[in-house]
């Protein structure tokens, strides 16, 4: 059940965390197998600070300038910053310098630039490759067939760390049906692990407010939750 949408940020965070624990218990996964990424796009820095004060550490942003503005207001907080929006190749420098994770790599050109631009004093940038799991015209991400070649190339870049896969499947009515694309993504990750045994491929970034449980049942390790923490966006 989704609940708490009308509560405070702290109440909503608690209720989402409770849902994660319940979903993990239901499928015999340890509760700490799933990291909650609070998706804070369009939200003011004060909202992130409120969530941080309640213990939230991972935040996801979609729009670069908006994210940089908030980061400048929150330099006193030890936040793990994830960029989860589409990234144009002329905007890679700021992501390379100001984020810990990028979930939406679907082109080698972008990956190469990020690796070149990652500042030498920072650890490698954590990367998820975005897969267009339902082959939707409107969505970013590569086709599953293109994954082995892109993954091998990205794995060879020195200042990136290839962590796993991300997808935004089309919404399906029933929760059981929603698990189908998530399971497909999980199988793709297993295939990649066999292909690239040296890589730290431990991440499935999948599941949003409406389909979080289906994603957790299918092996999600990062769920990206906006609405159910911060309320509906305008």
Ligand X SMILES: *Cc1c(COP(=O)(O)O)cnc(C)c1O
Position among 91, 159, 227, 231 found at the interface with ligand X (CB under 6 A) = 227
Strands 35-39 and 222-225: parallel
φ and ψ at 128, to 5 degrees? -115, 140
Closer of 60 and 219 to ligand X (Cβ): 60
In this structure, are residues 87 and 102 in contact, taking their beta carbons and an 8 Å threshold? yes
Q: Specify the stretch interacting with ligand X by CB under 6 A; choose among 1-9, 150-158, 192-200, 224-232.
A: 224-232
Tokens of 166: 């991300």
Closer of 153 and 175 to ligand X (Cβ): 175
Closer of 25 and 233 to ligand X (Cβ): 233
Q: Which residue of the chain is nearest ligand X when measured via CB?
A: 226
In this structure, are residues 64 and 85 in contact, taking their beta carbons and an 8 Å threshold? yes
Q: By CB under 6 A, tell whether 154 contacts ligand X.
A: no
| Shortest distance (Å) from residue 68 CB to ligand X | 17
N-to-C CA span, the chain: 23
CA-wise closest residue to 54 among 68, 70, 38 = 38
| Shortest distance (Å) from residue 138 CB to ligand X | 13
Tokens of 5: 């949408």
Tokens of 67: 């994210």
Site string for ligand X, 155-184 (x = CB under 6 A): -------------x----------------
Closer of 39 and 125 to ligand X (Cβ): 39
**Which residues does 7 contact at the CB level (< 8 Å), separation at least 6?**
15
Q: By CB under 6 A, tell whether 41 contacts ligand X.
A: yes
Residues that bind ligand X (CB under 6 A): 39, 41, 62, 84, 168, 208-210, 224-228
């Amino acid at each position: 059940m989704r609940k708490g949408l009308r509560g405070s940020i702290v109440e909503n965070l608690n209720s989402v965390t409770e849902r994660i624990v319940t979903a993990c218990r239901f499928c015999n996964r340890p509760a700490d197998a799933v990291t909650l990424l609070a998706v804070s796009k369009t939200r003011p820095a004060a909202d992130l600070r409120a969530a941080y004060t309640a213990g939230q550490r991972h935040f996801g942003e979609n729009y670069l300038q908006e994210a940089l503005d908030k980061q400048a207001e929150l330099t006193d907080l030890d936040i793990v910053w994830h960029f989860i929006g589409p990234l144009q190749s002329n905007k890679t420098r700021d992501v390379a310098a100001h984020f810990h994770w990028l979930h939406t790599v679907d082109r080698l050109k972008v990956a190469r630039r990020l690796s070149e631009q990652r500042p030498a004093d920072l650890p490698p940038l954590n990367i998820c490759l975005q897969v267009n799991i339902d082959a939707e015209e409107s969505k970013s991400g590569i086709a599953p067939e293109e994954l082995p070649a892109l993954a091998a190339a990205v794995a060879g870049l020195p200042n990136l760390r290839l962590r796993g896969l991300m997808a935004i499947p089309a919404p399906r009515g029933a929760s059981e049906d929603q698990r189908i694309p998530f399971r497909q993504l999980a199988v793709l990750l297993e295939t990649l692990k066999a292909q690239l045994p040296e890589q730290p491929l431990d991440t499935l970034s999948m599941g949003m407010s409406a389909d979080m449980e289906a994603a957790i049942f299918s092996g999600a390790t990062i769920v990206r939750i906006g609405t159910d923490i911060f309320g509906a966006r305008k």
